[in-house]
Amino acid sequence: MKSILLIMPYGSVGGMERLAINFYNYYKNNGYTVKAIKIIKLESDIINFGEDEIFLSNIDFCEMSFSKRFLFYLKIPFMIRKIIKQNKTSHSIAFGDMANIFSSLTFTKEYKIASIHALKSVEFVNKSFLNTIFKLGFKTSYINFDKVVCISTAIKVDLIKNCGFRFKEKLKVIYNPHDIETITNLSKIAIESKEENGVFDKKTVLFLGRLCTQKAPWHLIKAFSLLVKKSNSYNLVLIGDGDVNVLNYINELIEELQIKENVFLLGRKSNPYQYLSNASVLALSSYYEGTPNVIVEAIACEIPIVSSNCTDGIIELMSNKKLHKNGDLLITESGIITPNFFKDNLSIPENNEFIEEEIQFSYALEMILSDDNYKTQLILNKKTLLEKFEIKKIAEEYLQ
């Protein structure tokens, strides 16, 4: 019987963590021995693995001094190596750059799998010590993996063309799996808070994810403000925690745009699907993505989508290639794809001037909010859109 080790940086409610718990539940329910390592465990963790969870530190990186953090980085591969040996691990799956690089340095002999979840050429625009190490791994330590999973074709092409990835034969495109039945069941649970439930009394735009520079939530907020100028009959709900600087900036932006009465920051939720299923449209304004889980989750909850064209992987998720254009907008079976916001700068904007892409995004939101046909088309195409994310097929494909 296979013994599987899942390795991830944190236990928040981000895409990689939700992917890890989906794998955990599938493998566990099918009789595998499964353990899960969190490099950092926090009291605020939403994704948890019970008695099968192992953590390397309960102090976050940002709370460590530079010297302690550097020493911890050096110790992590040895700590993971010890766990692999103790549990007689036959397969390990690492989720994302940090987990990948540490897994690649354990020099253990299990079937070793890495996974890459975003367009790295865009992410590495921000120069940092860790990004330098992660990129170096593409040319060195990734040789130690048996398989490197790219969650979209766009990511694989980007690694080869733009990131100097040396071990092309190890790259395999496998979409993220989703437990559609569980998502559907969780989405049907009523929101208990009367106050939170009340925000859905109006047609609601919903953001679900981490509030960080990658997700560029200010573009969504500004686009939404253009909607409110036309009609006060809309609300914007943001589900997720985030970087302090980003949170401070978007709160100031909401005040400046005078839309505070229409915008609700509800924080992290253990069951975001009950909020998603009450929305009128899901909005994603990211600078870059891989194949964001929230797109598939919205389709499962029958909620149409407006997303920036933050990666070609978006088209892979939102469409079965039945696209048509409306100006600069791509109309798909599940919603609308708008022009990308990314302008070679992954940071908080220096000014709040509106840009053409925000106007286009606002127009796309208005199109879906004013026309029930988008939801009807999504429901009609839901089955075929979701077929490629079936968890049994994908979870087994990882191990082959």
CB atoms within 10 A of CB 110: 20
Residue 322, pLDDT above cutoff 80 = no
> How far apart are the C-alpha atoms of 221 and 268, rounded to whole Å?
18
**What's the mean pLDDT in 353-358?**
96
Spell out the alpha helix ranges (H) of 257-351.
273-276, 293-300, 313-318
Residues 150-162: pLDDT tens digits? 998 889 999 999 9
Residues 226-246: pLDDT tens digits? 999 999 999 999 999 889 999
pLDDT at 224: 98
Strand order in the sheet with 263-267: 263-267, 234-239, 203-208, 281-284, 305-308, 335-338, 329-331, 324-326
pLDDT at 291: 80
Q: 3-class SS at 74?
A: helix
pLDDT at 13: 63
Question: Side chain identity at 206, as an amino acid letter?
Answer: L
pLDDT at 136: 96
**Angle formed by the axes of helices 66-86 and 97-104, nearest 10°:** 60
**What's the mean pLDDT in 308-330?**
86
Our CA angle for 137, 391, 161, nearest 5°, is: 30
Phi-psi domain of 267 (left: phi exceeds 0; alpha: psi -120 through 50; beta: other): left
Residue 290, pLDDT above cutoff 90 = no
How does strand 3-8 pair with strand 33-38? parallel
> How far apart are the C-alpha atoms of 380 and 384, rounded to whole Å?
9
Residues 53-78: pLDDT tens digits? 999 999 999 899 999 999 999 999 99
| pTM, rounded to two decimals | 0.76
**What's the mean pLDDT in 217-225?**
98
pLDDT at 31: 95
**What's the mean pLDDT in 317-331?**
87
Residue 120, pLDDT above cutoff 80 = yes
C-alpha pair distances (Å), 362 with each of 20, 106, 217, 224:
34, 48, 13, 6
Residues 23-43: pLDDT tens digits? 999 999 999 999 999 999 998
Contact between 165 and 159 under an 8 Å Cβ cutoff? The reply is yes
Phi, psi of 105 (to 5 degrees): -100, 10
